[in-house]
Amino acid sequence: MAVRTRLTWMQEKNLQTYFGGKQFTLLYKASVHEFSAYYLFKRCCDQGPIVVVIYKEHYVVGAYMKTSCKKEEKIPIVLFALEENTISECKISSYVPTELFHDGSRGRNDLEFHINMRKQVMTLNLDTSEKLRLPHMQASPFQECEVFRCEDLLDRRTLEGINELHERLLSAVNTYKPHKNLVPQVRILLLGPTRAGKSSFFNSVKSVFRGHVTHQALVGSEATGVSDTYRTYSIKDTVDGNFLPFVLCDTMGLHERGKGLCVDDIAYILKGHISDRYQFNSMKPITPSHCNYIHYPLLKDRIHCAAFVFDVNSVKYISHEMIAKIKAIRRQLIKCGMPHVVLLTHVDSMQLITKGDLTDIYRCIPVKHKLEAVHKKLGFALSDILVVSNYTSEWELDPIKDVLILSALRHMLWISDDFLEDLTARGNKDLLV
């Protein structure tokens, strides 16, 4: 059976983040491999940087060795104590690790810290205990000791894999053709509260295809949101100058009541009656008498898939009114057979999320919790909830972010195809003009 750490997910995450976004691999667990300094060093010497963690009742105390541990070489050691989410640190002198972790023969009382592995006894002098904000631990018993190898989360192999995936996704989106070429481009509607990241998502997609970060769509910082204009954005392929096979349609933010996108406008957007740059009016939905109303939209003018965009950090604050509004819109979408997804943005700013987590974001526990919360609150299937980190203030593209953006986009293209396929299957001749 695999040896498992006693650290909780939160404790491990706190330590990984504290030591600069590291990945922990458990090398040694005293209760499994024997309480013995001899076995500890046998398993953990020459393994690169390591963290030794001691569990003493509800305290977690440890030693971080930044350079590979050698049995007879002095190395710099940082002690730490973890309490809740707070880490206290105490740099001590450089030591030969066997001086600090021993089996009883070498323990010295003048040391700031030492561990008798055989007797399961930890000793911290008064000064060290104070720096670690611990009670004075003069020769006190501990219950467990674990040692982890600490590696950078993004090693060369991981990065190579990401670059390969990046190329594959880019090519899949570039060469995508809507079902039976029914339309030249599929139209993806972005809906959601103000400041959710709708306009930033378009900017991010454009940046990926441009090969540099661009900020065409105005991105808001005001509580009211900056845009009350409907925008439909196409992106040109930089290689052949043709338009990419999708259009992103950016809307005014949804509000609980009064202000914001009028729910009655959505039906008109879906059917293609509203044109680019239409000025929304919260109080007055569009009517066929409006001068910009498109009376006879074609299939290419319609929306083919919708994405509800939310800031992942705001999920728990979504009000009852907003939930009711989103459910009402969803009912409209379901009625006209329109596939839809949720797009969670701002995942980079979630607490404790490191860049390494973005490489496997759907397995990351706090992100999973968010997906479950969205599923529970709004009823979306977990597989229809996508996660991205938009380009906001950075100037350089990042293949890890690109992969999330491209994966989300590819999913939207796939479900748009489902819509087109469904239309042809139903043989809706009026729409297939």
Ligand X SMILES: Nc1nc2c(ncn2[C@@H]2O[C@H](COP(=O)(O)OP(=O)(O)O)[C@@H](O)[C@H]2O)c(=O)[nH]1
Which residues of this chain interact with ligand X, rule CB under 6 A?
192, 194-200, 219-221, 225, 253, 309, 345-346, 348-349, 389-390, 392
CA 391 to CA 263: how far, in whole Å?
29
- Within 10 angstroms of residue 304's Cβ, the number of other Cβ atoms is 29
Total of residues contacting Mg ion (CB under 5 A): 3
Q: How far is CA 325 from CA 246, 306, 316, in A?
A: 27, 15, 16
Q: Is the dihedral of CA 25, 31, 36, 42 positive or negative?
A: negative
Q: Which two tokens stand for residue 273?
A: 């009656």
Residue 11 binding target from ligand X, Mg ion, none, CB below 5 to 8 Å by type: none
Considering the complex, state which of residue 113 and residue 201 has its C-beta at the smaller distance from ligand X. 201
Least Å from the CB of residue 227 to Mg ion: 5
Least Å from the CB of residue 156 to ligand X: 27
Bridge partners, 50 (sequence order): 65, 149
Residue 207 is a binding residue for Mg ion (CB under 5 A):
no
Residue 227 is a binding residue for Mg ion (CB under 5 A):
yes
Residue 245 binding target from Mg ion, ligand X, none, CB below 5 to 8 Å by type: none
CA 197 to CA 41: how far, in whole Å?
50
One-letter amino acid of 182: L
Question: Which stretch in 17-25, 54-62, 226-234, 255-263 sits in contact with Mg ion by CB under 5 A?
Answer: 226-234
Of 368, 33, 410, 13, the residue nearest 188 (C-alpha) = 410
Taken as a whole, the chain contains a residue count of 433
One-letter amino acid of 172: A
Residue 196 binding target from Mg ion, ligand X, none, CB below 5 to 8 Å by type: ligand X
Least Å from the CB of residue 390 to ligand X: 3
Least Å from the CB of residue 313 to ligand X: 9
Least Å from the CB of residue 225 to ligand X: 5
Of 238, 231, 185, the residue nearest 211 (C-alpha) = 238
Residue 297 binding target from ligand X, Mg ion, none, CB below 5 to 8 Å by type: none
Considering the complex, state which of residue 296 and residue 395 has its C-beta at the smaller distance from ligand X. 395
Q: Phi first, then psi: what are they for 128, rounded to 5°?
A: -65, -45
Considering the complex, state which of residue 93 and residue 393 has its C-beta at the smaller distance from ligand X. 393
Considering the complex, state which of residue 30 and residue 190 has its C-beta at the smaller distance from Mg ion. 190
Bridge partners, 141 (sequence order): 121
**Site of tokens 């796939």:** 414
H or E element, residue 42: helix 37-44
DSSP string for residues in 221-264? -STT-S--B-EEEEEE-TTT-PEEEEEEEE-PPB-SSSSS--HH
Cβ–Cβ under 8 Å, residues 278 and 284: no
Residue 68 binding target from Mg ion, ligand X, none, CB below 5 to 8 Å by type: none
Considering the complex, state which of residue 91 and residue 277 has its C-beta at the smaller distance from ligand X. 277
Considering the complex, state which of residue 14 and residue 251 has its C-beta at the smaller distance from Mg ion. 251
SS3 call for 26: strand
Considering the complex, state which of residue 145 and residue 404 has its C-beta at the smaller distance from ligand X. 404
Cβ–Cβ under 8 Å, residues 312 and 347: yes
Q: Which two tokens stand for residue 385?
A: 């909830």
Residue 200 binding target from ligand X, Mg ion, none, CB below 5 to 8 Å by type: ligand X
Considering the complex, state which of residue 81 and residue 191 has its C-beta at the smaller distance from Mg ion. 191
Residue 390 is a binding residue for Mg ion (CB under 5 A):
no
Residue 200 is a binding residue for Mg ion (CB under 5 A):
no
Question: Which stretch in 144-152, 199-207, 365-373, 389-397 sits in contact with Mg ion by CB under 5 A?
Answer: 199-207
**Site of tokens 């399961």:** 120
Q: Which two tokens stand for residue 2?
A: 């695999």
Cβ–Cβ under 8 Å, residues 319 and 250: no
Least Å from the CB of residue 346 to ligand X: 4
Residue 199 is a binding residue for Mg ion (CB under 5 A):
yes
Least Å from the CB of residue 253 to ligand X: 5
Cβ–Cβ under 8 Å, residues 189 and 249: yes
Least Å from the CB of residue 19 to Mg ion: 38
Binding mask 230-269 for Mg ion (x = CB under 5 A): ----------------------------------------
Cβ–Cβ under 8 Å, residues 265 and 274: yes
Least Å from the CB of residue 197 to ligand X: 3
Considering the complex, state which of residue 162 and residue 361 has its C-beta at the smaller distance from ligand X. 361
SS3 call for 95: strand
Least Å from the CB of residue 315 to ligand X: 14
Considering the complex, state which of residue 85 and residue 349 has its C-beta at the smaller distance from ligand X. 349
Least Å from the CB of residue 296 to ligand X: 30
Considering the complex, state which of residue 129 and residue 199 has its C-beta at the smaller distance from Mg ion. 199
Angle at 73 between CA 70 and CA 78, to 5 degrees: 80
Binding site for Mg ion (CB under 5 A): 198-199, 227
